[in-house]
Structure 1
Amino acid sequence: MPRFPRLTAAATAALALGLLAAAPATSDEPLVTEARVSAHFDLAAGQTPENIALDGDGSADLTFALARQVAHVTADGATSIRATLPAVAHPATPIVTSAAVTGIARAHDGTLYVNYATGTSATGVWRLPPDGGAPEQIAALPADGLPNGLALDEARGMLYVADSVRGTVWRVPRAGGTAAVWATGAALAPLPAPPAYGFGANGIKLRRDAVWVSNTDRGTLLRIPVLQDGSAGPAETRANGLDGVDDFAFPGHGRSVLAALNSGSRVVLVRADGTVTTVLTEADGLSHPTAVAVRGRTVYVPSAALSTQRDPNLVLARLRHFISRG
């Protein structure tokens, strides 16, 4: 979930919403090339893509946050709606106000899991069966929180949820049940709003035996080891200075990350040593990007257009080479 801009009342209402190592490229060769807009969405209809999960055929499932929908986008850009989360009578989601579908994760059997933030008892993790059945809530989360990024650990049978308002990573059994606090602390917490936006832990991914989390207000990327008993080790800061960082993905087997930055509509490469390089910009079609996904050498970047108010879309691009180390 990106930071929501401070807007006029009218605008606010509208929003209320390994791989084998390759020879390294020379310094003047861009890592990400051939960017194009694969699909355009309808901002007025609340089609603000927040998060993405990839299917095996190269298609993508997106959460449309403010429309409360999960959409399917084929490789050629055709878009259909998989599901709409049920409306709530009086949504009171912290910061966002309206009900919003946020993080998404996909299991190998095609089951989709999504976070639903409402400010009511409907807040939590919901499951969408692969046969197209109705969405079902499998775990409740605190109504005063904002469940945002979502990651699935199929080996352990667990889902991890980044709560942006409570500065918490929750752990939820994949089969459903009671959510438990897995990690918390200052590194995951938001900063006071204003002047910040109140978005702490945001994007989340699993990488080997660790959970990685971005903190939007603090502009950081964190790595939290998963200990042998499944508990969380101490958080390690892997990068700083990522203004407006949202969700992210790994473009290889190493610890380098491609991260979406709401601020300035950019995607950056964050290397293992913390150095940051811009690889995609507004000129490539980005419009307040919210997430990144990578399959093979294809990079997927959804943009919600929340701050730009222009052209929510899905951009596809190509990695020039894999990053197997660093």
Structure 2
Amino acid sequence: MSPGRASPRSGHAASQSSCRRRGGTTALATTITSADTALAAQPPLTSTSFAAHLDLAKGQQPENLTLLPGGAAAVTFAFPRQVAVIERTGTVRVLAMLPAPSSDARTPVLGSPFLGGIVQGHDHTLYFLYATGTDDLTDVWRLRLGGSPERIAALPADTLPNGLALDGSTRQLYAADSVLGRIWRIPATGGTPEVWATVSALAPAGFLGANGVKVHDGAVWVSNLDHGTLMRIPVLRDGTPGATRTAATGLTGVDDFASTGRGDQLLAALNAGSEVALVSGNGGHTVVLNHTDGLQNPTSIAVRGDTVYVADAAYVTQQDPNLLTTRLHCPSSR
């Protein structure tokens, strides 16, 4: 989530100059079918394509996404409280709607019920976060194939759980709390959440702090929207957090991010500016996508192989929420 709504060690790292360039528009034979093409991106990305234009009138503003087998993407529509799938054809299919809270619910900062981060487990179970400002519905939820949403852990009513990550090796979920400035850890099997990390670098400075979160290369990586920073928090042998290191600064309005599969190189969604930045392992960054490529306040990024997916919520522009795809010149080894 980002402003504007009122109411990685790798043995496969390579330099950009050594990349083999690919011309033309994105070819998505095994992923979502492109609907039309936008303008050219900047290296190491090729030109972007729209995978889907979403319906603003129905509240189809994707807050977060996770990639499914076969090329579809599961997304959360934050304010209609919906978990949906964007099919390879661009068709939207709603999987579940979360229950509405009581009329006196007041979600911290946002005011309205908010459906946040979503991830997929190895068995294709979806996990996602819901915040309402009430004790009975501010929770971690899961959705099994063919099933109905289930609450698996309760979070305090004064929290705003936003980004969500899953460590597949330990089956622990990590949730970024944008209001209290902390990282919660929750067993994927369900149970009592614990405050895993709480440091000043995660705190907000007027709006939202800790936002996106990923598990990568033995560490939990977290963005701070208000500070425009990315942090790396090592996971020690006993599961506790190590010392927090600021990995990048100057990322104004940073929301979600994703590893490119090349060392500590990341792609970060800069929501308010409608940009995507390529963040290098030394913390520098370059804008590689912007509004001329069709970006409308990007909120979430995912990478599979050499294909990059960007979800645009249009929270500020209120024009064209969409799902974009583009390709990396240097595909990851995954």
TM-score (ref. length: structure 1): 0.90
Residue type of the alignment partner of 2:2:
P
Between the two proteins, the alignment pairs up a number of residues equal to 308
**CA drift at 1:323:** 6.3
Tell me how far apart the structure 2 counterparts of residues 25 and 75 of structure 1 sit (CA, whole Å).
Answer: 32
* Cα distance in 1, alignment partners of residues 15 and 262 from structure 2: 15
Q: Residue 182 of structure 1: SS of its match in structure 2?
A: strand
Unaligned runs of 5+ in 2: 22-41
Query: Can you list the C-alpha shifts for 1:131-175, whole angstroms capped at 9, x where unaligned?
Result: 2x1101110111111000000112112100000000010000111
Q: Is 2:168 the partner of 1:159? A: no
Q: Is the 8 A contact 1:63 1:102 kept in 2?
A: yes
Could you tell me how far apart the structure 2 residues matched to 1:127 and 1:70 are? 11
Q: Which among 126, 137, 150 is matched to residue 112 of structure 1?
A: 126
Partner-residue secondary structure (3-state), 2:223: strand
Q: Look up the match of 1:255.
A: 264
Which residue does the alignment assign to 2:161? 147
TM alignment of 1:127-276, pairs within 5 A: 127-131=142-146, 133-191=147-205, 193=206, 198-276=207-285
Distance 1:74 1:20, change over 3 A: farther
**Pairwise CA distance, 1:21:** 5.7
Deviation at residue 23 of structure 1 after TM alignment: 6.8
Other structure's SS at 2:69 match: coil
Question: How far has the Cα of 1:208 moved from its partner?
Answer: 2.1
Q: Distance in 2 between matches of 1:183 and 1:19?
A: 29
Kindly state the Cα deviation for residue 283 of structure 1 after the two structures are TM-superposed: 1.0
Q: Could you tell me how far apart the structure 2 residues matched to 1:41 and 1:68 are? A: 16
Structure 1 contact 48–305 (Cα < 8 Å) conserved: yes
Deviation, structure 1 residue 44? 2.2
State the SS of the aligned residue for 1:25: helix
| Contact 1:162-1:203 at 8 Å conserved across structures | yes
DSSP 3-state at the match of 2:79: helix
SS in 2 for 1:57: helix
1:69-88 deviations in Å (ceiling 9; x for gaps): 01101223121111111111
> AA paired with 1:129?
R
1:297 maps to a residue whose letter is D
| Alpha-carbon distance in 1 for matches of 2:237, 2:168 | 16
C-alpha change, 1:43 and 1:181, in structure 2 (3 Å) is same
1:55 Cα deviation after fit: 1.0
Please list every run of at least 4 consecutive aligned residues from structure 1 whose deviation after the TM superposition is greater than 4 angstroms: 18-23, 26-29
The one-letter code matched in structure 2 to 1:130 is L
- For the 8 Å contact 1:182–1:231, the answer to whether it is kept is yes
**2:47 maps to 1:47:** no
The AA in structure 1 aligned to 2:124 is G
How far the C-alpha of 1:251 sits from its partner, in A, is 0.6
Equivalent residue number for residue 37 of structure 1: 50
Distance 1:267 1:289 in 2: 8
Task: State the match for 1:24 in structure 2.
Answer: 16
- Match runs of 1:73-112 below 5 Å: 73-90=86-103, 91-112=105-126
- TM-score between the two structures when normalised by the length of structure 2: 0.88
Matched with 2:76 is 63
Q: What is the RMSD of the two structures over their aligned residues, measured on CA atoms?
A: 1.8
How big is the shift at 1:33?
Answer: 1.1
Tell me, yes or no, if structure 1 residue 308 matches structure 2 residue 321: no
For residue 185 of structure 1, what is the amino acid of its counterpart?
Answer: V
